[in-house]
Amino acid sequence: MRRFIALVLAALCALAAPVAAAPAVVLSDGGVIQAPGALLGMDVRPGGEAVLLVGEDGWAHRIDGLQPDRRDLDVELGTGRSVDINAVDWHPGGATALLVGDTGLLMRYVGDTHAVTNANGSNLLTGRNLIDVAWRPGADVAYIASEDGGLWRFAEGTGPVMLENGLETEDIVDLECHRSANVCVVTTSQDGLAVIGRSHDVTWLTGTSTTTWSTVTCADPTLNECTAFGLGGSTMTIMVDTETASRSSTGPIRNLQSVDSEMTGASVAAAGTSLIHLSPLGLIRHDPVNDQAYEHLGADQALAFDTLVAGRSLLGAWESDIGTGWFLTNDGDLVGMNPDRSDQQSTVLETVAGIAVAVALIGTIIGLIFMNSPKLQAAYIRRRNARRSRQR
């Protein structure tokens, strides 16, 4: 009897054992955005209503940020250029954007008219292959980087002005500005990380040249921090001194142990988080407030969704809420992401089933106790007989 009850109680405990987590997102096919060549850069308008795309052979395009799978909302942007456009960045006000590319391409997009024209002073950059551009949050200056290590500040009134103490490196891979402080971070693949201060001074961060870095993100505007990501799952926190950028410091290099893929880029996501691009195709969500990183989209899930998409490189991603958004590949594949709620439905069903089983098992236990207790049986018979006597 006791042995049987012990087995039953063990079965009840087994009902509480955790189950394997379901995938974080469900993917959906958003079609393909057609371009003459590879897509090279993208940026989401502040507020998320539109996304600008640029690519090879002078291609520039605008899609809707909320319904990007609707091709009838697309706007083809005529640049009149045939060289590669490598990067684009919206002005913080959301009315205009800067485009940069090979052989000194520096152009300005106007959202109201969709006009794309040469920016002021673009002729000063002729012959330089420009690879990145980023507006600082004060909206007064954008920084421009070239593949040979040149850095410029740009303002509408003055055009591009080269920074006096540039990086003198040919390994710039990313340029990102803090979202609330006028400090920007330059990432190089071989020479480390550098910060650009409010007065446009450039300072190398010591101890950062031992790792091959691929990207940096400053996703949460409430933190005086940015985070760099690099080869082998390496990550480093940059503590930004918003008053004197040259006094900025770094934390230790850490490794994300669960990352088997290489981190190749990053996109600002919802709620102050970042989505880190992986190769093979996948995404990791990085939460700087809680200092956590976890898988958002695994390579195996991408492969199960579409083998062609899984073999391509991520261009960027954006979200309207945690888990709800889109990502694009360099080949123009548009894929929707929505939270997987099947685990919640399963939990409800499992809970109901668990309660039913528990009730049945408890009933069985009570029945067994009754069958093995002469006192309980005698008491039951006396109560039954008394009830029958009253009914007569």
Q: What is the pLDDT of residue 365?
A: 52
CA 64 to each of CA 76, 344, 384: distance values in angstroms, whole numbers, following the listed order: 12, 31, 76
Task: Based on the fold, state whether residues 382 and 299 are members of the same structural domain.
Answer: no
The answer to whether 261 touches 299, Cβ cutoff 8 Å, is: yes
Task: Based on the fold, state whether residues 6 and 48 are members of the same structural domain.
Answer: no
Q: What is the pLDDT of residue 245?
A: 98
Residue 339 lies in a domain: no
What share of the chain in percent tops pLDDT 90?
Answer: 78
The structure tokens listed for 138 are 């004060």
In angstroms, the CA 239 to CA 183 distance is: 11
Q: What is the pLDDT of residue 166?
A: 75
Residue range 138-189, pLDDT digits in tens: 999 999 999 999 999 999 999 999 998 778 788 999 999 999 999 999 999 9
The structure tokens listed for 143 are 């920084």
Query: Side-chain half-sphere of 170: how many Cα atoms within 13 Å?
Result: 3
Task: Based on the fold, state whether residues 259 and 139 are members of the same structural domain.
Answer: yes
Residue 103 lies in a domain: yes
Task: Based on the fold, state whether residues 239 and 280 are members of the same structural domain.
Answer: yes
Task: Based on the fold, state whether residues 184 and 267 are members of the same structural domain.
Answer: yes
- Average pLDDT value for residue range 108-128: 97
Residue 234 lies in a domain: yes
pLDDT of residue 341 exceeding 90, the answer is: no
Find the domain containing 103 and state its range.
36-321
Task: Based on the fold, state whether residues 309 and 369 are members of the same structural domain.
Answer: no
The structure tokens listed for 147 are 């593949």
Residue 383 lies in a domain: yes
Element (H, E) at 10: helix 2-14
In angstroms, the CA 31 to CA 15 distance is: 43
Residue 183 lies in a domain: yes
Amino acid code (one letter) for 108 = R
CA 10 to each of CA 280, 348, 351, 353, 359: distance values in angstroms, whole numbers, following the listed order: 43, 22, 17, 17, 15
Query: Side-chain half-sphere of 210: how many Cα atoms within 13 Å?
Result: 8
Q: Higher-confidence residue: 356 or 318?
A: 318
Alpha carbon of residue 310 to chain centroid: 17
Q: Higher-confidence residue: 389 or 120?
A: 120
Q: Higher-confidence residue: 131 or 387?
A: 131
Residue range 262-295, pLDDT digits in tens: 999 999 999 999 999 999 999 999 999 999 999 9
With cut-offs at 50, 70 and 90, classify the pLDDT of residue 376: low
With cut-offs at 50, 70 and 90, classify the pLDDT of residue 316: very high
Task: Based on the fold, state whether residues 357 and 248 are members of the same structural domain.
Answer: no
Task: Based on the fold, state whether residues 7 and 141 are members of the same structural domain.
Answer: no
Task: Based on the fold, state whether residues 144 and 228 are members of the same structural domain.
Answer: yes
Task: Based on the fold, state whether residues 317 and 351 are members of the same structural domain.
Answer: no
pLDDT of residue 4 exceeding 50, the answer is: no
**Number of domains, the chain:** 2
Q: What is the pLDDT of residue 373?
A: 60
Task: Based on the fold, state whether residues 377 and 253 are members of the same structural domain.
Answer: no
Residue range 154-168, pLDDT digits in tens: 999 999 999 987 787
Q: The CATH number of the domain where 317 resides is what?
A: 2.130.10.10
Q: Higher-confidence residue: 1 or 220?
A: 220
Task: Based on the fold, state whether residues 233 and 366 are members of the same structural domain.
Answer: no
pLDDT of residue 97 exceeding 50, the answer is: yes
Q: Which residues contact 105 (CB under 8 A, 6 or more apart)?
A: 81, 83, 85, 99, 122, 130
What share of the chain in percent tops pLDDT 70?
Answer: 81
Residue 283 lies in a domain: yes
Last residue in a domain, options 306, 321, 336: 321
Residue 329 lies in a domain: no
